[in-house]
Amino acid sequence: MSAPGQLIPLRSSEDARGKLVSVEALRDVPFAIERVYYIVAHEGAARGFHAHKTLEQLMICVSGSCRIILDDGSRRVHHALDRPDQGLIVGPMIWREMHEFSKDCVLLVLASAPYDEEDYIRDYETFATEVGKAA
Ligand code: T46
């Protein structure tokens, strides 16, 4: 069984002017992108603490750094995001926490569906029960 979350390199073009990073739906990410949002967290804040029932996402730290903790109910993996040309794919039924936001952190998220609070599981015990049932 693979670890929760997949770090992927993003296509990037760099020249004397700087760097351009691109992401194409169904080419660079395995889903159609229906929503884009970004998080400008307070330094040191902790966010997340939920799972999604169906949502797929790609997280990119376009500025600064943060730590993403992913938990599939049996394994808990830490991912340090600190470069704009790398993305973290997070599938459904993965508990996620975001920690250690740097002062300059901007976390960009590309999502497979519009915002729907019904897709969230915000209680860890409920999440653990659901993934346990599916195992
Ligand atoms: C996730 C992690 C990585 C909206 O109105 N529209 C949106 O598209 C989103 C994502 C949120 N909201 C509202 C809902 C809440 O009132 O924004 C508020 C903050 O959302 P939340 O507390 O869920 O934020 P985070 O940073 O804990 O989690 C977010 C995403 O919600 C979540 O899907 O995977 O970032």
The binding-site residues of ligand 1, defined as CB within 6 angstroms of any ligand atom, are 35, 37, 39, 47-48, 57, 96, 109, 115
> Is the predicted pLDDT of residue 44 greater than 90, yes or no?
no
Q: Look over the chain and give the mean of its residue pLDDT values, rounded to a whole number.
A: 96
Is 74 in contact with 2 (CB distance < 8 Å)? no
- pTM comes to 0.96
How far, in Å, are 16, 28, 65, 84, 102 from residue 19 at the CA level?
8, 18, 18, 9, 21
Whether 78 is catalytic: no
- 121's CB contacts (< 8 A; 6+ apart) are 50, 51, 52, 53, 127, 130
Among protein residues, the one with the nearest Cα to ligand 1's atom 16 is 117
Q: What mean pLDDT is predicted for residues 2-11? A: 94
> Is the predicted pLDDT of residue 64 greater than 80, yes or no?
yes
Residue 86, both tokens = 């790398």
Q: What mean pLDDT is predicted for residues 103-130? A: 98
> Is the predicted pLDDT of residue 128 greater than 80, yes or no?
yes
CATH code assigned to 23-134 = 2.60.120.10
Residue 95, both tokens = 């508990």
Among protein residues, the one with the nearest Cα to ligand 1's atom 31 is 48
> Is the predicted pLDDT of residue 32 greater than 90, yes or no?
yes
